[in-house]
Chains A and B, each alone.
Chain A
């Protein structure tokens, strides 16, 4: 008997190495194995034979690994997202692609900088076109990694090309607000365009969208880390070379834009291939920051309700919008990092509290803005701000509804996931609308 238990334990630890399988799955499979062994022993086999037959029937570890990976891609999305699977990635880790496309982005940015005479001159077209200098290289990186067909390359080229034409052919007046708004919203719209090559064309799939949301979160973490390291490096270089008579301006002009552009692609590559490093950090980060943001929002509501309408300057509304976007992102990221099978826990309640607080804040901002628009009419900035607020309001309300139903046990967690991923295109469409429709509506002012 002890022999059988030892055999089962050994089998369990071997199957347990399958990355897409968790403890509950193992329990389930082990239960199956034990049922099978019991039946076979009843038929007259001895325990050892029964064990061997039962193990054979359950299947090879490799096959199990593949099947579980397909169903539970969220548990190892970083391995799967190469979509050609781990075996293809072994011989081609992609660092060369990352370097090539990263260097491409850096060169594009530097050429544009020289053409614009930045930082001496700061023409509006530079800020407006920043997305087109960098993001096509990121798209190219993913198209290459996913071994996309020619049609996909052409589609992406067409999307970037048409957007670039549109944005640059608009006859903005000097220092136009709409120009600023385009510069702000275009990167968002174009980032969603990246979802197409990232998901290998499967943008309709909720799971792939969730992968993309996860990717975006990880990418931000990596980019921030690289920026931090880069900042230290540049600071030290400046300190070292300044006494030797090297102009620190030179470093700022050449190294910073190059690094910032290249890091966009390099961070994406890191997310894909060194994902495990932050994999355990990401949920922790969201867990730490979710309650803190809830607190921040609650304080903000209290402070600004006390002084209603007086101090709501335009910049402040922008700050609040940014805060709400961060909250939506935190919740989305938290959702994407969570095990959907797990029952409701304290973190879910905290998240619900944060979302409800954000909703309340959003309503306050909307009330203030509605009053302001009623008084002073629509301007490009107010339109963009109120639109974003409405988009956020609906998104957060849906998230709160599904989260609340999940917390009280009335709904599956997947509903919340589906709501979140289903809502993502609304953000993309809104950003695209601001870029495309707002300038002509307001006379390019």
Chain B
């Protein structure tokens, strides 16, 4: 148990140092330390086995340790509101990635409209609060529901078709969504929707900077904690679903539809269920983004973002639930850390995905083989 917590503490310290250290020498030192830790774990099979055994033996302790680390992060980052924001964004991508992974990884449903469904969630929040005057939390709940409903409408025409048609429909949908948001009047056109009111809980506005245990945190810390909760919720729910009968059915129909049919799985129903649940979480991520940033506009939800969401899954590992968390926590902050590469960001994403697909298609954290006892 000590080993588990020590390992997690080391990771947390390395992450915080990696984010905050400015001097090149110190940064190189941090990177070297991280690399050394990785290599050490790799080349010492006994250490590796001990770590794996410790994590397997004390899953509750590992989870609790992880939660403590996640909650402690804003305290370490309190000097920089910007990095708190980036960390929150990474968690938003965890929520979205879990939803998308259920569709793409578990069920093999190629959804390239992740950005559009997130946009539906975000725009719903914006429209309902700004134009219709709904309270923010109600609009926040309505966002994912709208994403699910629209997703279902899109999905019905292709229930009976096979192959690449879902990819076609979803790509087309991203473009239609962007055209509509840019040209419809009630969505604000290219200007988008400004001044989305923030979440309020029992009269407590999320934009006030919190003070926890006497330590003043940046205002985004509220959203960070909310995002931690939502990311944990999404990961937990998707994990339970993945382990459930539904997850097995989805894996089966992904690998062989005919075999799945022969086992008595209703292909259409299972696919639609996976698509809806996935879109719910994608829309939830979008809604969280909207209340956090307070502003939505069409370029925030174009096809490029669909590709970034996709790369989160591929880097982490297709159908791998911890992989999604890892992928989001790597892909979102890293380009921010290396701002000088910002121009090349999308190019690097593309190259990295391509290399991953060709040489390590199972991802950084491959999906584990299902085990039943």
User: Are these two chains actual partners, yes or no?
Assistant: no
